Chains A and B, each alone.
Chain A
Amino acid sequence: MSTTMFLDFEKPLEALYEQLEKLKQVGKDGEVDVTDTIHELEEKIKAKRAEIYSNLSGWQKVQLSRHPDRPYTLFYIEQMCTNFVELHGDRNIADDKAIVGGLGEIDGKTYMIIGHQKGNNTKMRQYRNFGMANPEGYRKALRLMKMAERFGFPVITLIDTPGAYPGLEAEERGQAEAIARNLFEMAQLKVPIVCYIIGEGASGGAIGIGLGDRVYMLEYTWYSVISPESCSSILWHSWDFREQAADALKLTADDMFSNKLIDGIVREPVGGAHGNPELMAKILKDHILKALSEIQFSSNEEMIAARIAKYAAMGEYSIQDNIEHKDKKANANTETHYNEAIAQGQEVELYEDGDLSEDD
């Protein structure tokens, strides 16, 4: 356990672990019998951990979602599949390393599995571009999904990204178009799609492989339109309000489920997925198979109609009564807000720039 990284809110655990290590050393030296004390301490750690984890804030869950020991897509694939062949390249520009995908066999059946991939050390993190895909990544994902459709294989996507890469080349090659195209095509894909947020679910980069018949979040993950840090910087004009931003965004699995924006939550082992990755992979595998078995329609058309209806229902608005429905007849110079604006000044700054919207 000495290599484990403790997050700031896990500090009480770190102290207990240190004690435990020392105690074990004493036991090894053979002077005193410490078995009972060790057992006691382990129980104490277990209780403390349960206590800490039962009451996590949004920001703490964001930290857990980014824990460097957390399992990533390729680990889950390795654990879940008896057979897996990774497929590469978008057939146009390159092979994106931040999104991986391929055909895998789970319990005797073939699936197309696609997910973001982060690295486990500094070198690999760079190689994987920290899980931030370029347009090629989204286009590779689309290529694989279309292939899955042709062969009738269900699609599983595992999402874990701090965002689509905001780089120069990404813009040149159409980052926005790539994500938009995926949303459009996934809405009509003739095979079942199940999506899992396994870490970070940041905005367009996440939803770019995240439109499906069922969308789930692992317990200690987040999913929203912007990261708490960027949200803080834009709305609070400072980087220091990430905790408040995390709360305000309602980005945890519990919030997302109660707002009916996801279909369910996958519980993680106490201490998070990184505490017991193998167990997590087993839980995930069972969950995926169950979720897919629940997608039962008499035709693909019905499945697609239900998928679109699910997204069409997402959105909260109210209806204002007594609205005059304006019928506007030929009259070019009616009092529009343009005229109102210019009526007040000479050097008119007609339409000022707004600054309250997200741009990454």
Chain B
Amino acid sequence: MSWFKRLKEGISTATKNKRETPDGIWYRCKQCKHTTTTKEVQKNFYKCVNCDYHIRIGSEEYFDIIFDDQTYEILFAELRSKDTLQFVDLKPYPDRLNEAYNSTKLNDAMNVGVGNVHGYPLVVACMEFKFIGGSMGSVVGEKISKAIDFAIENEAGLLIISKSGGARMMEAAFSLMQMAKTSAKLTLLAKARLPYFSLCTDPTTGGVTASYAMLGDINMSEPGALIGFAGPRVIKETIKRDLPVGFQTAEFLFEKGFLDFIVNRKDLRHKLGTLLELYLKNRVRQ
């Protein structure tokens, strides 16, 4: 019936088979569009091999990068968010939580691990951006609070890796109070003369920035991370003009004096080890 006839099959390789290249899976950089294997990216500390773009990663990846022998223990995994306010917007908060549990296999936007770095004990509280935008609710605050207690008890340093869109609106004022709670608890760590390192990663905004993320004895950031109080869109609407290039990036904050340094992910572990040695080796107890 058709007036043309295919003489031989044009594409004969099944899509399934096509994928089976030696490393199988490709990663295409969000920033420079360079394509490479995921294995290469993984070996490169989850950064683009071409442009060094720091890919957003989760807590377990950070723990593997940071701790000696990639050995650590997860703490406080039993804490779960609770819908005290019975918050409903387009859907009920418990539905959002269940979706987040199912899609991320995480238990909230914060994961705490403890291990050694260069032989020195370090508690790492790492935010999970995949879990409702890394938003800070009661569980995030409580895990930080418990991580601080744990660090004091075990005379360990504390690292908080921030990665958050801000407060979790579905927990409203409970979420707001986590700013006060975490900041107040950090004063206890300071009194115990234990160092607190704050690592801001992309993005660190809102109530997280306006509490623990800016309170480190050392404030550091990954290159290129967005760090700010108000989001760029809100600021743009307020001032009614375009924002300068590079506004609210890690490099911008560094120049304005809010960060001690910017750390490439490949140097993170070594940097933390050096700092812990400087702080803890000759720690003067009270």
Residues of A within 8 A of B (CB): 164-168, 170-177, 179-181, 183-184, 187-188, 203-204, 207-208, 210-211, 223-226, 231, 234-237, 241, 244-245, 248-251, 256, 259, 261, 307-308, 311-312, 314-321, 323, 325-333, 336-338, 340, 342-343, 345-360
**Count of chain B residues with Cβ under 8 Å from any Cβ of A?**
104
Alpha-carbon distance between A164 and B206 when the two chains are bound, in angstroms: 11
- Residue contacts A-B, CB under 8 angstroms, 9 given: A167-B238, A168-B244, A171-B230, A187-B180, A204-B176, A226-B167, A308-B188, A336-B60, A347-B35
Given A183-B179, A315-B138, A355-B165: A203 touches B78 (CB 8 Å cut-off)? no
Alpha-carbon distance between A330 and B64 when the two chains are bound, in angstroms: 9
Q: A318-B81, A342-B38 are in contact. List 18 more A-B contacts (CB 8 A).
A: A181-B214, A187-B187, A203-B167, A204-B210, A210-B180, A224-B173, A226-B169, A256-B173, A261-B174, A314-B138, A317-B80, A327-B73, A329-B71, A342-B25, A354-B131, A357-B133, A357-B136, A359-B165
Alpha-carbon distance between A328 and B174 when the two chains are bound, in angstroms: 33
Could you tell me if B176 and A207 are in contact, using CB atoms closer than 8 angstroms?
Answer: yes
Q: Tell me whether B74 is interfacial, beta carbon within 8 Å.
A: yes
Alpha-carbon distance between A244 and B169 when the two chains are bound, in angstroms: 13
Q: Tell me whether B275 is interfacial, beta carbon within 8 Å.
A: no
Given A317-B80, A359-B230, A360-B206: A184 touches B187 (CB 8 Å cut-off)? yes
Could you tell me if A316 and B174 are in contact, using CB atoms closer than 8 angstroms?
Answer: yes
Could you tell me if B213 and A180 are in contact, using CB atoms closer than 8 angstroms?
Answer: yes
Given A174-B214, A207-B176: A352 touches B167 (CB 8 Å cut-off)? no
Q: Could you say which residues of chain A place their CB within 8 Å of the CB of B231?
A: 359-360
Residue of A nearest to B130 (CB): A351
Q: Tell me whether B234 is interfacial, beta carbon within 8 Å.
A: yes
Leading 6 A-B pairs by shortest Cβ distance: A354-B133, A357-B165, A166-B230, A359-B231, A315-B138, A183-B183
- In the complex, the number of residue pairs spanning A and B with C-beta atoms less than 8 Å apart equals 322
Q: Could you say which residues of chain A place their CB within 8 Å of the CB of B187?
A: 184, 187-188, 308
Could you tell me if A338 and B173 are in contact, using CB atoms closer than 8 angstroms?
Answer: no
Could you tell me if B84 and A316 are in contact, using CB atoms closer than 8 angstroms?
Answer: yes
Could you tell me if A311 and B235 are in contact, using CB atoms closer than 8 angstroms?
Answer: no
Q: Tell me whether B32 is interfacial, beta carbon within 8 Å.
A: no
Q: Could you say which residues of chain B place their CB within 8 Å of the CB of A231?
A: 89, 169
- 8 A Cβ contacts from B183-211 to A: 183-188, 205-207, 209-211
Q: Could you say which residues of chain B place their CB within 8 Å of the CB of A181?
A: 214-215
Given A183-B180, A203-B176: A328 touches B214 (CB 8 Å cut-off)? no
Could you tell me if B74 and A325 are in contact, using CB atoms closer than 8 angstroms?
Answer: yes
**How far does the Cβ of A151 sit from chain B's closest Cβ, in whole Å?**
22
Could you tell me if A166 and B207 are in contact, using CB atoms closer than 8 angstroms?
Answer: no
**Among the listed A172, A180, A333, which residue makes an inter-chain contact with B256, where contact means beta carbons less than 8 Å apart?**
A172
Q: Tell me whether B57 is interfacial, beta carbon within 8 Å.
A: yes
Residue of A nearest to B38 (CB): A342
* Most interface-central of A207, A346, A349, A351 (chain B CB within 10 A): A351
Could you tell me if B211 and A180 are in contact, using CB atoms closer than 8 angstroms?
Answer: yes
Could you tell me if A236 and B90 are in contact, using CB atoms closer than 8 angstroms?
Answer: yes
Alpha-carbon distance between A93 and B109 when the two chains are bound, in angstroms: 37
Could you tell me if B165 and A348 are in contact, using CB atoms closer than 8 angstroms?
Answer: no
**Among the listed B105, B167, B173, B210, which residue makes an inter-chain contact with A357, where contact means beta carbons less than 8 Å apart?**
B167
Q: Could you say which residues of chain A place their CB within 8 Å of the CB of B64?
A: 332
Could you tell me if B207 and A315 are in contact, using CB atoms closer than 8 angstroms?
Answer: no
Residue of B nearest to A248 (CB): B87
Given A168-B247, A224-B173, A316-B84: A204 touches B138 (CB 8 Å cut-off)? no
**How far does the Cβ of B13 sit from chain A's closest Cβ, in whole Å?**
15
Could you tell me if A249 and B215 are in contact, using CB atoms closer than 8 angstroms?
Answer: no
Given A316-B174, A320-B107: A225 touches B228 (CB 8 Å cut-off)? no
Could you tell me if A176 and B213 are in contact, using CB atoms closer than 8 angstroms?
Answer: yes
Q: Could you say which residues of chain B place their CB within 8 Å of the CB of A317?
A: 79-82, 138-139, 142
Could you tell me if A328 and B71 are in contact, using CB atoms closer than 8 angstroms?
Answer: yes
Could you tell me if B185 and A312 are in contact, using CB atoms closer than 8 angstroms?
Answer: yes
Could you tell me if A211 and B180 are in contact, using CB atoms closer than 8 angstroms?
Answer: yes
Q: Tell me whether B141 is interfacial, beta carbon within 8 Å.
A: yes
Given A164-B229, A180-B183, A358-B166: A236 touches B138 (CB 8 Å cut-off)? no
Could you tell me if A184 and B186 are in contact, using CB atoms closer than 8 angstroms?
Answer: yes
Given A207-B176, A235-B89: A311 touches B184 (CB 8 Å cut-off)? yes
Q: Could you say which residues of chain B place their CB within 8 Å of the CB of A211?
A: 180, 183-184
Alpha-carbon distance between A314 and B57 when the two chains are bound, in angstroms: 30
* Most interface-central of B80, B178, B235 (chain A CB within 10 A): B235
Could you tell me if A234 and B214 are in contact, using CB atoms closer than 8 angstroms?
Answer: no
Alpha-carbon distance between A166 and B231 when the two chains are bound, in angstroms: 8
